[in-house]
Amino acid sequence: MIVQVTVANIINQFHLQLDEVYGSNEVETFARLALEQYDAIPYSDYKSYIDKEIKNDVYTNVLDRLIKREPIQYILGIAWFYDLAFKVNTNVLIPRPETEELVDLIIKENPKAERIIDICTGSGCIAISLKKNLPNATVWATDFIDGALGVAKENARVLQADVTIIKHDALSGDYSTLSVDCDVIVSNPPYVKENEKEGLEPHVLNFEPHTALFVPDDDALLFYRHIGTAALGLLRSGGTLYFECHTDHATEVANLLLALGYKSCKIVKDMFGRERIAQAVKE
């Protein structure tokens, strides 16, 4: 058990036990995040505290869980997204950097948006980030999983974001509880096919919620079809629907939306040059 040791000892212990699994750079990040979370050692200035004595014995547990490939965000209970600290647990997906790009695009293209709906909200990271950066907008967020709704509501409370969070099944076909004449509808729905499970990293497959990840092999566009159809009745004329997509299916999503009757649809690539966002405008 790690007790009464220094910051340097903690960091060295992380490297000794984890470098072969994760690589040195990622392990350094894990150690610094844990030290900041449990002993208030500043992430960006940890070297100034390198000789500080640490009496907290939580790090043994953190190491044990990391060895089992549990995501550091679930261990700490926090994931940073768009400069905000979101509570996360195994009821919700861990927010991704690619999703930050989606939020950034919406903010830049819709500075005067008045009504926004986020469907399949999970932790609430999209809806809350939009509300914090577009404070004049009225924002709704929906999910069907009670555990996810609890996390989203807690994040909205802690981050002081006035977001209306509603239990709603995106596949139900009934969207009558949501506002009409919206400027923006956004969704990062489940989009990984069941037959892709074997290719996923253990920290995703073994810990993140499968209901938020997977769709049937024979219907990869299941959520896009339902949400895209419903959004035609919720968006105002000229309003925009934004989807995060599986990089293998973004073109299919765009073609689906055009077939549904959207005036135009374009695909936006992410920071890695992969087709990630489908953006459709209502006639």
Q: Report d(CA 108, CA 161) in Å as an integer.
A: 19
- % of the chain with per-residue pLDDT over 90: 86
pLDDT at 180 (0 to 100): 84
Overall pTM surpassing 0.85 (yes/no): yes
Q: What is the pLDDT of residue 5?
A: 86
| Sole residue written with tokens 């990622």 | 26
User: Is residue 254 within 8 Å of 278, Cβ to Cβ?
Assistant: yes
Give the pLDDT of residue 57: 85
Q: What pLDDT was estimated at residue 4?
A: 59
Q: What is the mean pLDDT of residues 138-147?
A: 96
Q: Which residues contact 109 (CB under 8 A, 6 or more apart)?
A: 240
Question: Which pLDDT score, from 0 to 100, does residue 215 have?
Answer: 87
| Distance separating alpha carbons of residues 278 and 153, to the nearest angstrom | 27
pLDDT digits 0-9 by tens, 115-126: 999 999 999 999
**21, pLDDT greater than 70:** yes
Pairing between β-strand 182-187 and β-strand 235-244 as defined by DSSP bridges: parallel
Give percent of the chain with pLDDT exceeding 70: 99
Q: What is the pLDDT of residue 200?
A: 85
Quick one: how far is CA 6 from the chain centroid?
34
56 against 14, higher pLDDT: 14
Mean pLDDT of the chain: 94
Mean pLDDT score, 35-64 = 92
Q: What Å distances lie between residue 276 and 2, 15, 76, 115, 189, CA to CA?
A: 43, 34, 28, 24, 12
- Range of lowest pLDDT (54-58, 65-69, 79-83, 148-152): 54-58
Instruction: Please state whether beta strands 53-54 and 5-6 pair in parallel, antiparallel, or not at all (unpaired).
Output: antiparallel
Average pLDDT over residues 178-189: 94
> Is the pLDDT score of 2 beyond 60?
no
Which residues lie below 8 Å from residue 198, measured CB to CB, with a gap of 6+? none
In the chain, where are the structural domains located? 5-68, 83-281
Flag whether pLDDT at 61 surpasses 80.
Answer: yes
What pLDDT shows up at residue 197? 86
* Contact between residue 230 and residue 173 where contact means Cβ atoms under 8 Å apart: yes
**H or E element in which residue 10 lies:** helix 7-22
Q: Is beta strand 163-167 parallel, antiparallel or unpaired with respect to 214-215? A: unpaired
Amino acid at 261: G
Among the residue ranges 53-57, 154-158, 171-175, the one predicted with the least confidence is: 53-57
pLDDT of residue 119: 97
pLDDT of residue 199: 84
Q: Domain 83-281 belongs to what architecture?
A: 3-Layer(aba) Sandwich (3.40)
Integer-rounded Cα radius of gyration of the chain:
21
Q: How confident is the model at residue 213 (pLDDT cuts 50, 70, 90)?
A: confident
Q: What pLDDT was estimated at residue 253?
A: 96
Q: What is the mean pLDDT of residues 150-175?
A: 96
pLDDT of residue 122: 97
